[in-house]
Structure 1
């Protein structure tokens, strides 16, 4: 599957929630998410634009591989996920294989489901520790359906009045925010 996603920084989450509800979006239960990211022992994920994470929500954990972005306007990429029955053992296995912990991204997520053009989009308002508020609009697509999914996600962002998308992931933004300023 391909994940088609756009992300925007938010200054007014209340106004966005009102627009979502006006468009008929259904609010789901808010959740706390903890995303533990790993580096690969033989290649630099920052250079290859890939990611490997273990996401924990309550007592559930999912391992996710994200491939490199495949376009310049959205964050469309291959995504492979698997549910974990023993996340600590999986993390130990990764570390035994040479993967190293990079950082943990912690956020509170308020998801909404928005029906558009026969497709259900997930719209998530995130309060990311150390970064602030963002909204992500996401659809999953097969390669044959990719152009339509991109168009649908982009149209949803426009209907919500969102501008100036953010293509960096939370991990990249967090690592950049933690770097000391350069003295020139």
Structure 2
């Protein structure tokens, strides 16, 4: 199963964060609109990501709910019928909740840097260090920590869990 090292943090100044990400990535980033539906499942998280353009992805992932860099294992299957798949999964498993966001994606080395505006929650950043074959978790965590420093992400802004968890907690 593919894996990455992830961190998530609250962003108080999205414009400033974007400036730093543009400088480090040497790009303006790519805007992606996403509507994620989370389904009930016995372990991990299962979500259907609808890109609102007729395409989507069914994503299963497992990661600990801790702040700081953490290993996430995932599997992804593309779909050309997100609404139809949502009906089937909703009927079979039940819906846990939904997250709507606009994501600005920057690529910095082996890391996907997301600047997210999440409906009902505000602004966040995510780092996803895509693990290379034979790369240790410690090496991936070190990449994440160094990038946190370059992007001026302080540890007191780190967030545990998924956006869905924050929404369910009423934050």
What do the CA deviations read for 1:103-158 (whole angstroms, capped 9, x no partner)?
1100011111112xxxx211110000000000111122157312212110111011
In 2: Cα distance, 1:94 partner to 1:28 partner: 32
1:67: which partner in 2? 62
Q: Given the alignment of the two structures, is residue 18 of structure 1 paired with residue 19 of structure 2, yes or no?
A: yes
- Listed as ranges, the matches of 1:32-47 within 5 Å are 32-40=33-41, 43=42
In 1: Cα distance, 2:112 partner to 2:63 partner: 21
Q: How far is the alpha carbon of 1:71 from its aligned partner?
A: 7.2
Q: How far is the alpha carbon of 1:79 from its aligned partner?
A: 0.6
Q: How far is the alpha carbon of 1:167 from its aligned partner?
A: 1.8
**What TM-score do the two structures reach when normalised by structure 1?**
0.81
Unaligned stretches of 5+ in structure 2? Answer: none
In 2: Cα distance, 1:80 partner to 1:134 partner: 23
CA separation of 1:14/1:95 partners in 2, compared to 1, >3 Å: closer, same or farther?
closer
Q: Given the alignment of the two structures, is residue 54 of structure 1 paired with residue 48 of structure 2, yes or no?
A: yes
Q: How far is the alpha carbon of 1:77 from its aligned partner?
A: 1.5
In 1: Cα distance, 2:65 partner to 2:168 partner: 22
CA separation of 1:140/1:126 partners in 2, compared to 1, >3 Å: closer, same or farther?
same
Larger Rg: 1
CA separation of 1:60/1:71 partners in 2, compared to 1, >3 Å: closer, same or farther?
same
In 2: Cα distance, 1:95 partner to 1:130 partner: 23
1:104: which partner in 2? 98
Kept after mapping to 1: 8 A contact 2:113/2:128: yes
**What TM-score do the two structures reach when normalised by structure 2?**
0.87
Count of residue pairs the alignment pairs up: 166
Q: How far is the alpha carbon of 1:65 from its aligned partner?
A: 0.3
CA separation of 1:141/1:126 partners in 2, compared to 1, >3 Å: closer, same or farther?
same
Kept after mapping to 2: 8 A contact 1:26/1:114: no
